[in-house]
Structure 1
Amino acid sequence: MSTSEATTTVGISDEMQPKRPTRLGVALIIGPACWLGPYVGASATLLPARIGELAPDNKVALVATFSAVAMIVATIANILAGALSDITRTKHGKRTPWIVVCSILSGLLLWALSIAPNIPVLLGVWAVYQAVLNAVVAPMVAQLADRVAPRWRGTISSFYGIGMAFGNYGSGIIASRFLGNVGTGIQVLALIAVVGGILSAVIAKEPGNLDEPRARFDLATLKQNFMFPTTNCRDYYLALAGKILMVTGQYVIVGYQLYIFTDYMKLDDSGTTNAISTMSLILMITGILFCAVAGPLVDRFHRLKAPVAVTTIMLGVGAFFPFIEAKPWTMLAYALVAGIGMGAYNAVDNALNVAVLPDPKTAAKDLGIINMANTLGQVFGPMIAAGIISMLGYRAIFPAETIICVIGGLLIMMIKRVK
């Protein structure tokens, strides 16, 4: 086995990588922007809009139902795809085939979503899309563990975070412009998913790994590659729990942002489009700016835990603004605070996750489990919000986010292995 191939399996030391892997960093801007953007644009804006068209009287409950189905499918798919990626051997490496093939499939499924004629078909396509999407996500983020030395992980993690900011918030700008033509909007997102996924893989230029030992399919292999970690994993599970709570808190609001503007703040279609676009622009600008700043600072000062904890709590602080008054400016104030927090968070979160991995040889599987936090949070958030809205109204969801995010930040601070 050559040195380059070995490091793909067990990671790269600082001595092996004296120069910043900028090319991979560029790929990790494009990649997450083009899987997360279509997903968030659909789930936060265009899917709720389509549900509202097909079943206006049950839209709040149906959004929660779609989230629950997505959670079940995506949780299994994320872990399974990560584990299968870890044991894949091809001349293009173990991550690239998954990223390319499943990016194409995700685009095709989004196109099918755009023409779904009723709620059952819409739900079925959405479920399959979740499975395919997570087979892009788990291998892509595993490249941070495979190909980035510890000295550069804060910086390259910030590249990934910038991509997430483009995807997370740029998607709102795009999707809001298609509220009057939901099908076309989803098809635009489908094209972004296909082109971006392929381009990211081409730029990353992963080396082949055909010479790596092939995994034997026995009980030990199954335990190592498909089961949750059981040793050296206290900090790993604290990071997982903190991330779940952060994403849950975020999606208490994000999952219902369309209805917050239409039903809580009583805006018309034009006002809603402008509000979502402005909010997304604020989130994107602050997210990119603070992500770009935070990553290099983390590498300089060698601190990961406190930045992740503080930025998680910031998300909850921002939620107080729309609680105070049901006016659009309060959601824009929330966007400003949340954008700063999420930008800095995205810069360092993946570096923290890599630092607490129990075993680098199962990086994609274990990172896939942590990435499961995104799925779980995106489900728990809307489910919690739906229950609160039905019992107490929209205003009560905002302090709920604050409580959830504060608890998540405190769990992160309990990590011992990382400064």
Structure 2
Amino acid sequence: MKSNNETHLVDWKANVSDNEQPKIPLNVGIAVGIGALLWLGPFNGVSTVLNPAKIADIMNGAGARANSFLALLGTLGAIASTISTIIIGALSDRTRSRWGRRTPWILVGSVLTAAVMVGLGLIKNESQLPIFIVLWCGVQIFINMIVAPLLAVIADQVAPKHRGTISSIYAVGFAIGQYGGPVIGGRFLSNINPNLINTGYFVFAFLILLSGPVAAMFLKEKSSLAMLKEKLDFSGFITAFIFPVHKVRNFYLALFGKMMIVITTTSFATYQVYILTSGMHLDSANAGKYISLMGIATMVMAILFASSAGPISDKLKTRKWVVAFAALLIAVGTILPFLVKSPAMMIWYGVIVGIGMGTFNSVDQALNLEVLPNPETAAKDLGILNLANTGGQILAPVLGAILFKAVGGNYLTILPFLTIIAIIGGILVLLIDENRTV
């Protein structure tokens, strides 16, 4: 006789094998692609466009006070995001419901994020800014109820041989949201009209509200009621929330390799205005022109190569070599403005790094899924891997400031160091043993 626990283990599985899934599960690709577009577009539009505009309006100008407040907002938001993504991922892994492990979180997260974003739009004066901080941290927490489970769906429902293709679809949605959200946000800045800015918050809240139901409709996730129910005693707590410690060599190589690449791209983005003005002696207007052209080049190349890199990695049956090649492209693009101190090189940076980032965002996600130590804790472990993003974004300006001081106050001379960091990231990825992943 089999025990109830053994029966549960037979009836329910945390992942899908290649043999069980001969065809590409396009429904999952559509769910994660549209889901990524509908959460990231509004998030980027608010964080990079509407928030700075609202704060500048409330504080009567984009001066030192507004910049300090935005820095505080970014720091507290990053901390809230870092902690919440691991906790939410762990709870998602342990969720037993007729709608599956991920769907309830995605649905509730979209409702809560939308509600808090509406609250941000209702802030009108400086006395309410402490509430603004709390609400923004709420956005960072609640949006992870969408992000962490949505990424884990690929590990749950996609066989390893199809993960490159599905990750490519996700990366296309990610790229459109990443670059398109600020473009839409900019449409609500007509003469910095406070009422129009608030309308932008409400529009973005509606789009985020759609992300959960649309993703759930395509996912049609199976029930997780047959999943083994574990007691959350001390041992269970450690399993649920601690950083993985067994079979983790590939896991941490992927984490730190990704962090090096994020540090490179984030540092460049942080100092791009200063590279053009202080380093290449352009005025603000011309610097803005080149930054716009660079952004367009990056967006087009990222979307184009995000759609093709994943299927190519599936056919090549390798992730690490494609990711390492993307790191090399990012390194090459980063060094160009240092080698040829011409503003035109910034556009070439956009072309080359756009190809690299499109390839990287597509295939790195598939690689992350394949270095997970345990498929039953996929969401939590993916949350830990996300520390490469949040950690890299926090460390980038700090490292940039240190390098700037070390090289004598020249922004262009930072670029060779960033290039080396990207190459180190690629080398770390190449050290991954794919025989233990695929």
Cross-structure match for 1:34: 38
Q: Is the 8 A contact 1:160 1:347 kept in 2?
A: yes
Shift of 1:13: 0.7
Contact 2:318 2:434 in 1 (8 A): no
Please point out which of 174, 185, 206 is paired with 1:164: 174
Match of 1:90 in 2: 97
How much has 1:266 moved relative to structure 2? 3.6
Offset, 1:288: 1.9
Determine which of 355, 377, 389 is the counterpart of 1:362.
Answer: 377
How many angstroms apart in 1 are the aligned matches of 2:287 and 2:202?
24
* C-alpha distance in structure 1 between counterparts of 2:150 and 2:76, whole Å: 23
3-state SS in 2 of match to 1:211: coil
Q: Which has the larger radius of gyration?
A: 2
Distance in 2, matches of 1:321 and 1:208, equals: 52
2:86 maps to what in 1? 79
**Residue 173 (structure 1) aligned to one of 159, 183, 194:** 183
Normalised TM-score (structure 1): 0.88
SS of the residue aligned with 1:303? Answer: coil
Query: CA 1:412 to 1:50, structure 2 compared with 1: closer, same or farther past 3 Å?
Result: farther
- Go from structure 1 to structure 2 and tell me whether the alpha carbon gap of 1:191 and 1:382 turns closer, same or farther (over 3 Å shift): farther
Q: Which residue is 1:216 aligned to? A: 231
Amino acid at match of 1:353: N
Aligned length: 414
State whether structure 2 residue 332 is matched by structure 1 residue 289.
no
* Aligned mates of 2:86, 2:66 — CA distance in 1: 30
- Asked if the contact 1:86/1:94 (under 8 Å) is kept, the reply is yes
For the 8 Å contact 1:305–1:415, the answer to whether it is kept is yes
Matching of residues 327-346 of structure 1 within 5 Å: 327=343, 329-346=344-361
Instruction: List aligned pairs for 1:140-155, cutoff 5 A.
Output: 140-155=150-165
Shift, 1:152, TM fit = 0.7
Letter in 1 for 2:427: L
Q: Residue 380 in 1 paired to residue 395 in 2?
A: yes
Q: Is the 8 A contact 1:61 1:386 kept in 2?
A: no
1:170 and 1:354 map into 2 onto residues whose CA distance is 26
Q: Tell me which amino acid in the other structure corresponds to 2:150.
A: M
For 1:49 and 1:187, how far apart are their aligned partners in 2? Answer: 15
Contact 1:70–1:379, Cα closer than 8 Å, also in 2: no
2:17 paired residue number: 13
CA distance in 1, matches of 2:311, 2:64: 49
Mean Cα deviation higher: 225-234 or 318-327: 318-327
CA distance change for structure 1 residues 77 and 258 in 2, over 3 Å: closer, same or farther? farther
Question: Structure 1 residue 411 and structure 2 residue 421: aligned?
Answer: no
Match of residue 257 from structure 2 = 242
Task: Provide Cα deviations, 1:219-271, integer angstroms capped at 9, x if missing partner.
Answer: 22111111100111011011011112222222223356678789985434x98
1:226–1:3 CA distance, 2 compared to 1 (3 A): closer
**What is the CA distance between 1:97 and its match in structure 2?**
1.0
| Distance in 2 of aligned mates of 1:4 and 1:146 | 16
Q: Residues 162-184 of structure 1, C-alpha deviation per residue, up to 9 Å, x if partnerless?
A: 11111112223223444444444
CA distance in structure 1 between the partners assigned to 2:33 and 2:116 by the alignment = 23
Give the C-alpha shift of residue 343 in structure 1.
0.9
Structure 1: segments with no counterpart, 5+ residues: none
CA 1:39 to 1:399, structure 2 compared with 1: closer, same or farther past 3 Å?
farther
Cα pair 1:172 1:276 within 8 Å, conserved: no
Could you tell me which of 318, 322, 330 is aligned with 1:307?
322
Give the superposed CA RMSD.
2.9
Query: Matched residues in 1 for 2:428 and 2:145: separation?
Result: 28
2:386 match: secondary structure: helix
Q: Which runs of 5+ in 2 are unaligned?
A: 1-6
Inter-CA distance 372–413: structure 2 relative to 1 (3 Å threshold): same
- Alpha-carbon deviation of 1:311? 0.9
Using the TM superposition, give the Cα deviation of residue 135 of structure 1 relative to its aligned residue in structure 2, in angstroms.
2.0
* Aligned 8 A contact 2:38 2:177 in 1: yes
**Paired-residue identity, %:** 39
| Alpha-carbon distance change, 17 to 295 in structure 1, aligned in 2, over 3 angstroms | same
Q: Deviations over 1:179-202 (max 9, x none)?
A: 444444444333222223321222
Answering whether residue 56 of structure 2 is matched by residue 56 of structure 1, we say no
Q: Shift of the alpha carbon at 1:416?
A: 2.0
Contact persistence 2:9–2:228 (CA under 8 A): no
Question: Which stretch of structure 1 is more off in the superposition, 147-156 or 198-207?
Answer: 198-207
> Structure 2: how far apart are the matches of 1:51 and 1:260?
26
TM-score, structure 2 length as denominator?
Answer: 0.84
Residue 297 of structure 2 contacts residue 354 of structure 2 at CA under 8 Å; is this kept in 1? yes
Deviation at 1:289, TM superposition (A): 1.4
Residues 137/260 of structure 1: CA separation in 2 closer, same or farther (3 Å cut):
farther
1:401 aligned residue? 418
| Deviating more after overlay: 49-58 vs 63-72 | 49-58
Q: Which amino acid aligns with 1:42?
A: V
